[in-house]
Each structure stands twice: as structure tokens, then as C-alpha cells.
Amino acid sequence: MAATADVQRRALLRAGLYVIPLLASARVLAHPMPDTEIVVGRDATTVALDIRLPFHDLLLASPPGLPRDARTLLAGNQPSLRSYFAAHTRLLGPADRPVPVTIGTIRLHQDHGADVGAYAELEVRAVARVDAHVRIRLAYDAILHRIANHRALVRDHRGRPIGTIRYSLASRRASPLALPNGPSS
Amino acid sequence: MRKLLYILGAVLLLAGAAFGILAWRGSSSLARYTNTNIHMGAVSTAAADALCPQTGHPRLVCLANGLQHGMSPELRAQLRRPYSAADARRWSNFPPVGYPDRVGPTLGDFTPAQLGFVKAMPATAAGLAKNEGYDELEQILNADDYLKANTTDNAGFSSGNFHIAFLGTPAERGTWELYFGGHHTAVANTYRDGRLIGATPSFRGVEPFTPFTMNGRTNAPMAQERDAFAAMLTGLTPAQQREAKLDMIFTDVVVGPQRDDNFPTTREGVRVGSLDLHRQQLVLAAIDRYVMDISQPDAAAILRRYQAELGDTYVAFSGAPGMNAENDYVRIDGPSVWIEFSMQPGRSIPGIHPHSVWRDRRSDYGGNG
């Protein structure tokens, strides 16, 4: 009985500790429109990037000839979309050594936001094997390489901001963003 | 010990909930969105005019005092805040649901008598030129009333949701900013010792863009800006257009809200100093559409400064020069002046709608940004 109470007490404490950041980030975790949002998760051996980006802006930025309809595009062009994101999503290790990134399945999310109206987003997951203690930088410029005002807002898995990646009109590139080390480093 | 842990857990939960709610609502937690259409054109400023017959800054100070006379302490505390650059940066093009962090009470918080003083303040600061200054602002408020009346979007459209705030104390001495803003609107006039030291950032946008009838009038508040840019760009020779053409796509302005540090360090496009006098005048006419959102004689002084710098000012655009289609974009970038105009798809109704920002590289936020 005492053990059960102890488990309940620990669960309550854990819930309290988890609820604070979740609630605090309730607003920032709403849809990222009109920008891209990248949520970074790191554990002992991997880094995962959950990318949400506006479909409309992707169409503007991608090469002509692709289907304009989101479902058609996703159904028939997963390999070329994955190639696009692989070319524009790079992780740089020490001495800017490239870290191989795997682009997973690309999904469509359609919704309605009171401030932006109906919208469609693509959800992309990129994963790389990187030890938690290794310092890495994210070089990301999907959409940004064509749409100058577009930004990628980068957050950790609790919604806390890590930084913003934006295209610089001066340098004509998007500067890489340093990512925090993993939890066990 | 067990009880202590329970209490700690409960306190953390409550604190988390409270913080989360505050974060969701934004730190302007006192803002009350009534979602009511006010019809600002029908609000009388007779009492304000009678009390404050002055012009310029003395009139603004008089109006600010008249507005606060008899006001509840709670409302006054929202209206008048200490001057800070951090608060000055809290503006946006989004409606309240998209950006709930604006400062100051909303127009829906005021009595009809107080609204007369509220209306008189941007009218005094922005001037009364037709389709510019206060007239342009009122038409943008009418656009929000139109969206409230004609769409089912729950974004917080309506003139009653626009904010006014004094950052600092309106007085003959000291620094203060008159802020007036809401969906598609930011007025940020900074004064020091009775003198206008910053008229920017100044944001305007409107949906619907095509002329619409609301609150007893026809509204087309930004048609003049679009027309001035179209005249400026179509007036360039093909070679000059090629020089002015940007190779990137612009779906919105670059130095928008919360992007104060986003000015490019190198200027792009065609140098106005290389154009003939007629074409230079077309550039100046486009700039004038923005400077005229400030009352005289300040507007004339600002325009003289921009005219003196015209030779080192650049014009650049993306899309088509008619500025009439989605993703058409134009920029005027000088040693001081920075103006962007971006045509975007309709968000709440079909069609297109513009966003536009006027900034000054030297005097944004009165140089305090």
C-alpha cells in the first residue's frame, strides 16, 4: 500500500514538472504558419528533427512542374521530395564535418487557423545518428533558398526556442544554427 | 515529508497552469477583446476639439490628459506604461488571435465620450489627408469591421479590438510613444521634449484590397500606395527594370514585426541617382504616400530628408511591376528610408491583399530600438 502511495506521489510530482513547460509552450506549439517550425529532439545517440512547413511556400520554392495539389504531390513524389529535403537539411559536426541525415516519410497536415485561414503543412522527419555530447549545427534552407522572408523557427521538444534560421539578404545564405547537446552530455 | 511533496506537486501544477494560461493569452493579459464594430467615422471629436484647440504636440498632450480625466485607475494603468523599447516592439500585422501581445487597452474598453479623445489622437499625429494618415487608418478599421460582418473567421476582427497606448508620459518634456495598432496596423510615433523623433515602424495592410463599402463609405485605403508603386516600376525602362529585379520570391515584407534587425547590409536594385528627374519624382511620389501618414509640418521635414538622400536610394522589386498579383513585392531602400510593399493572397476572403511597412534605418522607435 505504501509502495502504491509512493508510486502515486512520484507520478504526481512528475506530472507537475512536465505540465509546466507543456502549458507554458501551449501557444508556441500552435501551427507555425507562415514560417517553418523545426522541433529538435536529442537522446544519447540520435538527433531527430520534426519539420513542419507551409505547403504553399514549398510549391513556390520548389522546381516548376511539380503537381500543385498536395495529395497528388505526396502520393507520387516522395523520393524527389526526400531528395529536396536531404539537399536542404544538413547537420554539421566538429570542423563542419557533414553528419548523414535520413529523411523519413513526408506527411500532409491540413487545418484551419483563425489567424491564417485554411492551410496545408508538410510534416517531415529527419534523423541522424549523433552522440549526445557531439556539438552539431543545423544548416537548413528548404524554402528559405527561394523565399527571402521565410524563417525556420527552431525549438526543443519542450517548445523552448533554440533560435531562428533566416536567409540573409547580405550574405545570400542561411547561417547554420548551433543545436544544444543531448540530455546525457 | 509525503505531505510536503504533495503540496509541492500541487503548487507546481497550479503555477504551471497559471503560467501556461498567461503565456497563451500573451503578457498583455489585461487586454479585453470585445469583438465589437465601433464605426469610428461616426465617433464625435467635438468635446476633444473644444478642450484642445491647439495643433501638433501640444494638442496631443492636451488630448492625452483629457482622455485620462475621470478614467478608472485600472484603465489608466493599461493605457499609460513606462517607456521601454521592449514594449515599443510589441506590434504586429496579425489579428489578436495571431498576436495577443500588443500593449494598451482596446477601443472596446472606452466610453463613447472617451472614444472621441482616442480618435482625435491618431488624427492629430497622422494628419487628415484624404486616403492617407487618419483617413487611411479609419478605412483599415472599417476593413476589420467588414471582415467581422462578412466572414466566420474567429481571428478577433473588428475595430473594437484595436489598441492605443502611451509608452511614457505625454508631456512637453521627456520621451514617450503614441502607439495605435491592431490587425494590419501599427502607428508608433516617438516624441522627445515635444518633438517628433521617430515616425516608424509604420505598418499598414488591408483586406479586402478591392474597394468595399462599410460604415457608410467606400473604402480603398491602400490603392494609392499600390498605384504609386506601379507607376514607379512601369515607368522604368526595360533595362532599369532588369537592374531592379530581385531573383528571390517575397511572400511578405522582410523587416516586419519582431524582425527589427532584418535590414540587409547591402542595397539591391536600381540606384535612384541613376534615373532621370521624372523617374526620380515617381520614386519620391511613392515615398510621399507613406510620409503623408504623418501630420505637417513633420511630414514635409521627413520628405526633405529622404529627398536629399534620393541619389543613394535603391528601388528593387520581385514579381510583376504592376503590383497587382500574389507575391508582387517592391522595396525602396535608402540611407534612412525603408519601405516594403508585398501583395499576398486573401486570407479571409478570395483575392489579394497587401502588407506594407515604412521604416527608418536611423529613427525607428525614435532611435531607441
Q: How does pLDDT run across B110-158, given as a tens digit for each residue?
A: 999 999 999 999 999 999 999 999 999 999 999 999 999 999 888 899 9
Whether the bond into B100 is cis, omega within 30 of 0: no
pLDDT of residue B10: 53
Which residues of B fall within a CB distance of 8 Å from A61?
249
Per-residue confidence (pLDDT) for residue B347, from 0 to 100: 85
Test mutation, A27, A146, A164, chain B, max B CBs within 10 A = A27
Residues paired with residue A177 on neighbouring β-strands, in sequence order: A138
* Residue B200 resides in a domain: yes
CA-based nearest residue in chain B for residue A2? B2
| Mean pLDDT value across residues A107-134 | 87
B266 pLDDT higher than 60: yes
- Position A3 confidence tier, pLDDT thresholds 50, 70, 90: very low
Q: With respect to residue B19, please indicate whether it lies within any of the assigned structural domains.
A: no
Q: Is B262 on the interface with A (CB under 8 A)?
A: yes
pLDDT surpasses 50 at B217: yes
B136/chain A closest Cα distance in angstroms: 23
Query: What confidence score (pLDDT) does residue A168 get?
Result: 82
* B315 CB burial (10 A radius; 0-12, 13-18, 19+): buried
Answer yes or no: is B141 within a domain. Answer: yes
SS3 B345: strand
Both B143 and B206 in one domain: the answer is yes
**Whole-number pLDDT of residue A111:** 83
Report the sign of the C-alpha dihedral through residues B249, B252, B253, B258, in that order: negative
Q: What is the pLDDT of residue B198?
A: 98
Task: Supply the pLDDT for residue A4.
Answer: 43
Instruction: Name which of A115, A150, A155 to mutate to probe chain B: the one with the most chain B Cβ atoms within 10 A of its Cβ.
Output: A115
| pLDDT at residue A185, as a whole number | 54
* Chain A contacts in chain B segment 18-37 (CB below 8 A): 19-21, 23-24, 26
List the alpha helices (DSSP H) in B69-132: 73-79, 85-88, 112-126
Are B277 and B228 found together in one domain?
Answer: yes
Q: What is the mean pLDDT of chain A?
A: 81
B220's CB contacts (< 8 A; 6+ apart) are B131, B139, B209, B210, B211, B212
The verdict on a CB contact (< 8 Å) between A16 and B21 is: no
How many domains, in total, are found in chain B? 2
β-pairing verdict for B185-192 and A173-174: unpaired
Q: Is B15 on the interface with A (CB under 8 A)?
A: yes
Residue B286 lies in a domain: yes
pLDDT band for B8, please (50, 70, 90 cuts).
low
Which residues in chain A have Cβ-Cβ distances shorter than 8 Å to B13?
15-16, 19
With 80 as the cut, is the pLDDT of residue B12 above it?
no
Which residues does A185 contact at the CB level (< 8 Å), separation at least 6?
Answer: A131, A132, A133
> Which residue has better confidence, B243 or A68?
B243
Tell me how many residue pairs between chain A and chain B have CB atoms under 8 A apart.
111
Q: Same structural domain for residues B262 and B346?
A: yes
Q: Are residues B146 and B186 in the same domain?
A: yes
pLDDT at residue B4 above 80?
no
Query: How would residue A114 be classed by pLDDT, with cut points 50, 70 and 90?
Result: low
pLDDT at residue number A116? 65
Co-location of B163 and B108 in the same domain: yes
Residue A14 pLDDT > 50 = no
Which of A16, A26, A169 lies at the smallest CB-CB distance from B9?
Answer: A16
Q: Alpha-carbon Rg of chain B, whole angstroms?
A: 22
On whether both B192 and B257 belong to a single domain, the answer is no
CB contact under 8 A, A149 and B250: yes
Amino acid making up residue B174: G
Residues B243, B327, single domain; the answer is yes
Q: How far does the CA of residue B8 sit from the closest CA of chain A (Å)? A: 8
What Å distances lie between residue B282 and A128, B150, B272, B275, B321, CA to CA?
54, 37, 10, 10, 14
In angstroms, rounded to a whole number, what is the distance separating the alpha carbons of residues B344 and B338? Answer: 19
Who among A12, A26, A147 is closest to B249 (CB)?
A147
Where among B216, B247, B267 does a domain terminate?
B216
CA B46 to chain centre: 26
Please state whether the peptide bond connecting residue B208 to the residue before it is cis, i.e. omega within 30 degrees of 0: yes
Q: Are residues B302 and B328 in the same domain?
A: yes
Distance, in Å, from the CA atom of A151 to the CA atom of A141, rounded to the nearest integer, reads: 9
How high does pLDDT run on average in chain B?
92
Q: What is the per-residue pLDDT for A48?
A: 97
User: Which residues in chain A are contacts of B95 at CB distance < 8 A?
Assistant: 114-115
Is B5 contained in some domain? no
**What is the spatial distance between Cα A51 and Cα A57, in angstroms, rounded to a whole number?**
14
Write down which residue in B216, B248, B275 finishes a domain: B216
pLDDT at A180 over 80: yes
Interface with A, mutate which of B6, B8, B12 (most A CBs under 10 A): B12
Does the pLDDT of residue A178 top 80, yes or no?
yes
Three-point CA angle B261, A148, B183, nearest 5°: 65
Is B230 inside a domain boundary? yes
Residues 147-166 of B with CB under 8 A from A: 153-156
Range of B210's domain? Answer: 48-216
pLDDT digits (tens, 9 = 90+) for B326-345: 999 999 999 999 999 999 99
Q: Is the pLDDT of residue B30 over 70?
A: no
Q: pLDDT digit string (tens) for B293-339?
A: 999 999 999 999 999 999 999 999 999 999 999 999 999 999 999 99
Chain A positions in Cβ-Cβ contact with residue B265 (cut-off 8 Å):
169-170
Q: Across residues B28-38, what is the average pLDDT? A: 76
The fraction of chain B above a pLDDT of 70, given in percent, is 92
Last residue of a domain, one of B216, B250, B280: B216
Of B5, B94, B262, the CB nearest to A115: B94
Name, in order, each residue with C-beta under 8 angstroms of A97's C-beta and a sequence gap of 6 or more.
none
Q: Are residues B100 and B212 part of one domain?
A: yes
In this structure, the answer to whether residues B132 and B253 fall within a common structural domain is no
Looking up cell 478642450 gives: B51
- Do B188 and B236 lie in a common domain? no
In contact, A114 and B153? CB cutoff 8 Å: yes
pLDDT (tens digit per residue) in A123-133: 999 999 999 99
For position B115, what pLDDT does the model report? 98
Of B120, B132, B140, B7, the residue nearest B55 (C-alpha): B120
**Res B2: pLDDT:** 57
- Report chain B residues whose CB lies below 8 A from the CB of A9: 2, 5-6, 9
Residue at B152 is within a domain? yes
pLDDT of residue B183: 96
Q: Kindly report the pTM of this predicted structure.
A: 0.85
Q: What value does the mean pLDDT take over residues B54-59?
A: 97
- Name the residue with higher pLDDT: B335 or B264: B335
All 3 cell numbers of residue B179?
502607439
Confidence of residue A12 (pLDDT cuts 50, 70, 90): very low
Separation between Cα atoms, residue B324 and residue B322, nearest integer Å: 5
- 3-state SS, residue A111: strand
Q: What is the pLDDT of residues B156-185, one digit of tens each?
A: 999 999 999 999 999 999 999 999 999 999
| Cβ contact, residue pair A24, B19, below 8 Å | yes
* Interface contact A114-B24, CB threshold 8 A: no
Percent helix, percent strand, percent coil in chain A, to nearest 5: 30, 40, 35
- Same structural domain for residues B208 and B59? yes
ipTM over 0.90: no
- Residue range B343-363: average pLDDT? 94
In A, which residues are within 8 Å of B207 by CB distance?
Answer: none
pLDDT band at A25 (very low <50, low <70, confident <90, very high): very low
Q: Confirm whether B324 is domain-assigned.
A: yes
The answer to whether B120 touches B62, Cβ cutoff 8 Å, is no
Position A104: which residue type? G
